Amino acid sequence: MLQKAFLFFNIVCVMLMLASCTIRLSQKDASWMPYQGTETLVFRSNTGETDTIFFLSRDTMWKYPNPYFGNKRYEIVQIICNHTSPTSLQQGYLKDEFVALGKRKKSAELKISLAAKDAWYYRLRGIKLDSLKKIQPVNFKTQYGEYNDVYVFDDDDWMGNFHLRSNYITKLYWSKSHGVIRYDKKYVYWELEKKLLQ
13, 64, 84 from 19: Cα distances, Å: 10, 14, 40
> 93-128: per-residue pLDDT in tens?
899 999 999 987 778 999 999 999 999 998 878 899
pTM: 0.83
Rounded percentage of the chain residues whose pLDDT exceeds 90: 60
CB 129 within 8 A of CB 109: yes
Quote the number of domains for the chain.
Answer: 1
> 41-58: per-residue pLDDT in tens?
999 999 999 999 999 999
| C-alpha–C-alpha distance, residues 51 and 170, integer Å | 18
Non-local (6+) Cβ contacts of 179 within 8 A are 34, 35, 41, 99, 195
| C-alpha–C-alpha distance, residues 71 and 21, integer Å | 7
Identify the three-state secondary structure at position 107. Answer: coil
CB 65 within 8 A of CB 26: no
Structural domain harbouring 147? 2-197
